Structure 1
């Protein structure tokens, strides 16, 4: 799990790297939590550090079994998925803004770069599959912008697999800090924007950004959506202007009425979840890493 930029930095411009804050880096070194995202109202979202630092589990394997060709894991965290793909001989690359996460991935035998998804990446427009798991659809706090960026990274007709909040219709933008609340000496990382999406909200954003739903499933209490990239390229600017206007209108409509997330108590907790095999060719994203 990772994020892309700080609260005021626009996509495409490197900014603060909140997942490089000591609480997160320390947790990856030890492989243990507890670690949380804390909203400004005090609500805590537990981060599943132990699961992310373990080997890919049975649910992860069902996702990896759907991957096609070369795989880009966005917000790879400590690298369990990239390492599992590498062990299977699958070409895969992880990106993460945390130096500790990239180092952990390398120790597991996976390839990873310390990079934001909104920065230039190797193989843009040539990846066959991209992953946004473990809550990473929240990167940057702007799902519409993130989905458009993913379309730029994937090949035409490419596959995007996204993990969403299970069994809820939530479409929330929040400002959060990374905290280890059980350690009174721990300092919170910098505030950064984040988003929380249930499946219905993801599908709404995806349709506006030109994605087609390929599949939808749940396993082990986690929910996933597979999206197919219609053209894999950035479209005319006016298309995205319309999508942005639609997104703002949708937000205004949501703000005018109460939502399920607004009814949640401020100090409750919620868990967010951080086939065609081909060898890399000279045109492969990994070949030009």
Structure 2
């Protein structure tokens, strides 16, 4: 497994197939592996309001929430509507635009870039398969640990099957040959995700299934702090002042919402 942070492949999510799907609010949209295998992407659910399975995850959130790979923003909007401090990040301009239009604070940014409030978020979300971002779940978990406050909570969704793979894929909307670039992606079922989590000092604190979707809540050990995390936290005030959306304060509380 890589010991460095992998590229997040943002160019792939700024291509027309993804933007077209979000503008319509529906698919078809797939991740296509190089061998031709297709993974359907549930654009209709992403563009709808948060459902009961989503709410089962959001109810477990603690403190201010950062939704990593927020897509069209249903989770951030649901949190904001309930008065919860939340921010969505995504590399897609179309996703950020839609999130903001439905009332969700959002910032166009990769999780592997500097983020507002690093080291002070109460909860991070990796939902809708976003544990696959960057193609290296272990490195992604390490990065999320730097974004969260010590003892912070990660709520993540596992693949519905016992799978553990890192592959190259591209976006495909079924319109024939496309120029969308390939990028690294991963899928991890519950067992694989737990194994990755324990290797990065995450403690499983909850596990449940809702509407056939498996979720895990993981807590970062309070004593684990990497060199990069300490540096990011020290610089977070400057990051916040320059990069936080204007409707959010840079002083992020760790308790309450």
Q: TM-score, normalised by structure 1?
A: 0.76
Corresponding residue SS for 1:62: helix
Question: Which consecutive residues of structure 1, in runs of 5 or more, have no partner in the other structure?
Answer: 1-9, 238-279
Aligned residues: CA RMSD: 2.0
Contact 2:9 2:184 in 1 (8 A): no
The equivalent of 1:193 in structure 2 is: 184
Match of 1:284 among 241, 252, 256: 252
Write out per-residue CA displacement over residues 173-198 of structure 1, whole angstroms, 9 at most, x where no aligned residue.
Answer: 000000011x23x6242100000000
Contact 1:125 1:233 in 2 (8 A): no
Corresponding residue SS for 1:137: helix
Shift of 1:15: 6.0
* CA–CA distance in structure 2, aligned partners of residues 140 and 124 of structure 1: 19
Match of 1:63 among 48, 57, 67: 57
Shift of 1:119: 0.1
* CA–CA distance in structure 2, aligned partners of residues 119 and 54 of structure 1: 28
* CA–CA distance in structure 1, aligned partners of residues 189 and 104 of structure 2: 30
Match of 1:175 among 165, 168, 174: 168
* CA–CA distance in structure 1, aligned partners of residues 94 and 37 of structure 2: 26
* CA–CA distance in structure 1, aligned partners of residues 149 and 12 of structure 2: 30
Q: Highest Rg: 1 or 2? A: 1
Corresponding residue SS for 2:206: strand
Q: TM-score, normalised by structure 2?
A: 0.85
Match of 1:223 among 214, 222, 233: 214
The equivalent of 2:194 in structure 1 is: 203
Corresponding residue SS for 1:76: coil
Corresponding residue SS for 1:17: helix
* CA–CA distance in structure 2, aligned partners of residues 232 and 12 of structure 1: 25
